[in-house]
Amino acid sequence: MASDQNNIEKAADLLFEAHNTGKPCSPIRDLLAEGDVDAAYAVQAINTKRFLDAGRRLVGRKIGLTSRAVQTQLGVDQPDYGMLYADMDVAEGEEVDVSRVLQPKVEAEIAFIMGDDLDDERLTTADILSSIDYAVAAIEIVGSRVADWDIRIQDTVADNASSGLFVLGHEPKILGEFDPRLCGMVMECRGEPVSVGAGAACLGSPVSGTLWLARVMAGVGQPLRKGDIVLSGALGPMAPVVPGDVVEARIEGLGSVRANFAAA
């Protein structure tokens, strides 16, 4: 059953208002036909257009829900994607005001910076391997405009894949200098481990996740472009953060990256 267009627009309005006011809304899934993920992406597209019309700059994509551990946390069973905007980028060393993200949590990821346009949905693994310019360690600060993180797949897709902010590390590596599948990750908060994992948590490999994303984006007419940032998915479970936290992620072969959260 297809979702009602009026309800799609209502869902977009609720999430857009939550973004603008900083007040989470109720889950939007009940406005959509059960299982209609395409309708959830239609909600996301409405707000993407609003953001771009308002002057935000699109700089890449994020892949969500690639980790089985995160899927278990959120009760979903497939990946999704969202948009990355320039104003989401947090320079390493810059303090983050927790209030910038609703209900913030952190994830450690590998970020790929693309070296080619990928506008053919018949892409292969070889195409992806040859098109990645370099990789860096990254921390994604995810958030939810849906109250209490009460989300299912339609809620998070509609909510731009629960995006928030991101921090990129400063040790770029090319493929061949590290193994994106086997590299281990440890993320610490205030010096205590809060998440561990490895590249294989991302659909078997972050490269495989990026292949999935590139095919999907080409198929919907929004292909990845040279210079785009791809946050390729969490390497382990996400962890909540509060004011004053210092989060550091270390990824084998890619060094470390840190996110500092301003004290209250």
Q: Left, alpha or beta for 187 (phi > 0: left; psi -120 to 50: alpha)?
A: beta
The token duo for 109 is: 């990821």
SS (H, E, C) 165-229: EEEECCCCECCCCCCCCCCEEEEEECCEEEEEEEHHHCCCCHHHHHHHHHHHHHHCCCCECCCCE
The token duo for 218 is: 């080409």
State in Å, rounded, how far the first CA of the chain is from the last one. 47
The token duo for 35 is: 């299982």
The token duo for 116 is: 């080619």
- List, edge to edge, every strand of the sheet that includes 255-261: 95-96, 255-261, 246-251, 184-189, 192-198
81 touches 62 (CB < 8 A): yes
| Adjacent-strand bridge partners of 231 | 62, 111
What is the percent of the chain where pLDDT is above 90? 90
The tens digit of pLDDT for each residue in 201-239 reads 888 999 999 999 999 999 999 999 999 999 999 999 899
Q: Is the pLDDT of residue 70 over 70?
A: no
Q: Which helix (H) or strand (E) holds 39?
A: helix 37-53
Model confidence at 96, pLDDT cuts 50, 70, 90, reads very high
Taking the domains of the chain in order of start, what are their residue ranges?
57-261
Tokens 């053919």 locate to: 120
pLDDT of 250: 98
62 touches 89 (CB < 8 A): no
The tens digit of pLDDT for each residue in 127-186 reads 999 999 999 999 999 999 999 999 999 999 999 999 999 999 999 999 999 999 999 999
Report the CATH fold assignment for 57-261: Fumarylacetoacetate hydrolase; domain 2 (3.90.850)
Tokens 């320039």 locate to: 86
The token duo for 166 is: 């991101």
The tens digit of pLDDT for each residue in 4-17 reads 999 999 999 999 99
CB atoms within 10 A of CB 51: 17
